[in-house]
Copies of this chain bind each other. A is one copy, B any other.
Amino acid sequence: MIIVLKPDTSKKDETAVLREIRKLGYKPHVMRGVERVVIGAIGDERKHQTLETLVSWPQVERVMPVQKRFKLVSREAHKGNSTITLPNGTVVGGKKFVVMAGPCSVESEKQLLTTAEAVAKAGATVLRGGAFKPRTSPYEFQGLGEKGLKLLAKARKQTGLAVITELLSEQHAEMVAEYADILQIGARNAQNFQLLIAAARTGKPVLLKRGLSMKIDEWLLAGEYVLANDNAQLMFCERGIRTFETYTRNTLDLSTIPIIKNESHCPIVIDPSQGIGKASLVAAMCKGAAAMNADALLIEVHPNPAEAWSDGAQQLTLEGFAKLMEELKPFIAAAGRE
C-alpha cells in the first residue's frame, strides 16, 4: 500500500500515520519527494486489515494499493490454462473452440428440441436455455421453472449436447445442479455473492457473466468467491457492459479476451447476443471473438425469433446459426483452434 501525505504535513501528523501503519500490521517505509512525503506500507495487503481507511485522515491525500486483490483465479496462481471437461466430453478452454447455443428461454418441448437438434447438427456441443429468467419487469415471462429444466434434460438425452442454464436463487442451487452441466450466473447477479457461493458448492462448473458495470478487477474477485469455495471449474463470460451508447443493447468489450487470458487461467466465453442485442450484428462479433482467441461462444438461437417469449431481437434463426458456424471456420483456424 502506498500512502501519499498532503504537502506541508507536520512531523507530528506524519508520525501519527506511521504509528497507525505499524498498528495495522505493516512496516512503513518513508520517501521524501519534492512536494510530498510518500509512505510505502510493506505487508500482505490481503491478510491484514486494509489501510485504505487512512484516507479519512486529514493529512492523507491518497492511498494506493499495490497488490492485486485476487489470488486463486490469477495467472500467477496457475501458470497453465485451466480446462473444464463436461460429461459429454466437451472441453472448455482446450484446443477446440466450443459453441454453446440455444434459445433465450425454454418455451416448449417443440421449441427446445427443434433448436437443440439444429444447433447440434451445426456443430454446437452445449445447449443453452433459460428455465428461470430474471426479468426487469414482474409482468414479463419468468421462465418455466423446473418444467424447463426437465425439457433441457430431455434435449440433452436426445442430442448429446451438454446443458447450461441460469441459476437465479440460492434456494434452487441443488435443483438446477441436478439437471444442468454448467450453472450460469447472470449479469444482474454477478455480485450476488451468496448465489456465487451456493453455485460453487454444488461442485458443478460455473459460468460467471460480467455485471453490467463491473470492472475487470471486481469480476475477477467475484470469480474468486467460486474458487475460494472449493470449486475450480470457473469460466468467465463477457456479455457487454453498460455505456452511454444506445445503438446497441450493451457494449460488448472484446478486449476482455486478452485481458482475462493475461490475468487468469480460467476460460473466457463471449456472449454476443446479450452483448449487442441485435441479431444482425451477432455474426461479426462472433468472428472477432474467434479471431481474438476466446475459448467459447454463447449464442442465442430460436426457431422463430419474432415470436420468442423473451429477447427476440437478439436471437438468430436456425438457418442464421448454421450459416454463422460455417463462416466462423476460417477464423477459428486462423486463431490456431479447431
Q: Which residues from chain A sit less than 8 Å from chain B, CB to CB?
A: 2, 4, 7, 20, 29, 31-36, 38, 40, 42-44, 46, 49-50, 52-57, 62, 64, 66-67, 69-71, 76, 134-140, 168-171, 188-189, 191-195, 211-213, 215-218, 221-222, 224-225, 228-229, 241-248, 251-255, 257-259, 262, 276, 278-281, 284-285, 287-293, 305-309, 311-315, 330-331, 333-335
Task: Check if A139 sits within 8 Å of B76, measured CB to CB.
Answer: no
Q: Are B255 and A49 in contact (CB under 8 A)?
A: no
Question: Which residue of chain B is the closest to A261 with respect to CB atoms?
Answer: B284
Name which residue of chain B comes closest to A6, CB basis.
B76
Instruction: Determine the residue in chain B with the shortest Cβ distance to A291.
Output: B291
Chain B hits for A50, CB < 8 A: 140
Within 8 Å by CB of A243, from B57, B193, B251, B276, lies: B251
Partner of A53, one of B32, B292, B306: B306
Closest 7 interchain pairs by CB? A53-B312, A291-B291, A213-B213, A330-B334, A288-B288, A258-B284, A188-B191
CB pairs A–B below 8 angstroms (23 shown): A20-B306, A31-B40, A33-B67, A35-B44, A35-B67, A38-B66, A46-B137, A50-B140, A53-B312, A56-B306, A56-B314, A64-B64, A69-B136, A69-B137, A136-B218, A138-B221, A138-B225, A169-B170, A170-B194, A215-B245, A241-B243, A284-B293, A331-B331
Q: Which of B70, B252, B259, B314 contacts A248 (CB 8 A)?
A: B259
Q: Which residue of B lies closest to A281 (CB)?
A: B258
Contact present for B40 and A38 (CB under 8 Å): yes
Contacting pair A136 B284 (CB below 8 A): no
CB contact between A213 and one of B40, B242, B278 (< 8 Å): that residue: B242
Question: Is there an interface contact between A255 and B279, defined as CB atoms closer than 8 Å?
Answer: no
> Does B221 lie within 8 Å of A136, measured CB to CB?
yes
Residues of B contacting A57 in the complex (Cβ-Cβ under 8 angstroms): 306
CA distance A230 to B313 in the complex (A): 33
- Identify which of B52, B243, B278 contacts A313 (C-beta below 8 A): B52
The answer to whether A40 touches B40, judged by C-beta atoms less than 8 angstroms apart, is yes
Separation of A217 and B245 alpha carbons in the complex (Å)? 9
- CA distance in complex: A216, B280 (Å): 16
Looking across the interface, which residue of chain B has its beta carbon closest to that of A40? B31
Return the chain B residue nearest A278 by Cβ: B55
CB–CB B255/A285 < 8 A: yes
Residues B38 and A33 in contact, CB atoms below 8 Å apart: no
A314 to B49, CA, bound (A): 17
Residue of chain B at shortest CB distance from A229 = B138
Q: How far is the CA of A58 from the CA of B40 in the complex (A)?
A: 23
* Contact residues in B for A306 (Cβ distance below 8 Å): 20, 53-54, 56-57
What is the CA–CA distance of A228 and B49 in the complex, to the nearest angstrom? 42
